[in-house]
Amino acid sequence: MNWTLNQQNRITFVMVDAAGAEVAGLGNTFTLEVSKAGAAFAASAGVGAEIGNGWYTYLSTAAEADTVGPIAIRVNGAGCVQQNLEYVVAQRTPNAIAFTYTVIDSATLLPVEGVEVWFTTDAGGSNVVWTGVTDAFGVARDANGALPLLDPGVYAVWRQKPGFTTVNPDWETVS
C-alpha cells in the first residue's frame, strides 16, 4: 500500500500473541519504529491508539513520509509478537488530478454509502491503482478521507457492496 509523500498517513494493524490470538488492551502503549528507505529504525513520532479487539491504528507525521521509497515499520507490545509492516511512499506525477467519483443508486437516485471502489488501468481489474470506500454522500475516498489522486487517462472503476447491484467496470476518463 502506498503512503502519500509529505503528508500524514494512517495505518491499521492487529497485535497477536505467540499463539496467534489477538491482544487487546494495549491502548497506546505499543512501541512503533520506522525505517525510511532502508535507513536504521527510529522511534515513531506519530500517534498510536487502540481501535478494539486487538486492532490498533497509527497516524504518521508528514516528516515520516518525506522520503520516496519503502517504509518499514515494526510494532512491539507487551505479550505480543513483533509485527512487521511495509509501505511505500509514492510520489505522483505533477499532473495528477484529485478525481471525484460518486456512486448513486440508479433506482432511487440517492448516494450509496459503504461501497468498495477501486480503479484499475486494465479491463480485467488486476492493475489496481487506487482503492477506497464511499462516504455518506456516495463519494469514493481513501482511508485518509482523500479523493482518488490519478494521472490523466482512462480507468476501469469497480464497485462492490453486499445488496447493491452494479455493472462492472464503469469506464471513467480523468482529465
Placement of cell 482529465 in the chain: 175
Q: Distance between CA atoms of 90 and 12, rounded to whole angstroms? A: 19
Residues with Cβ < 8 Å from 29, sequence gap 6 or more?
A: 77, 78
Residues with Cβ < 8 Å from 159, sequence gap 6 or more?
A: 103, 115, 116, 117, 166, 168, 170
Question: What are the tens digits of pLDDT across the range 44-57?
Answer: 999 999 999 999 99
Q: What is the CATH number of domain 97-174?
A: 2.60.40.1120
CATH topology of domain 2-90: Immunoglobulin-like (2.60.40)
The three three-digit cell numbers of residue 14, written as one number? 492487529
Per CATH, 2-90 and 97-174 having the same topology is answered yes
Domain boundaries, given as residue ranges, for the chain:
2-90, 97-174
Placement of cell 467496470 in the chain: 169
- Quote the pLDDT of residue 90: 78
Model confidence at 26, pLDDT cuts 50, 70, 90, reads very high
- Global pTM exceeds 0.85: no
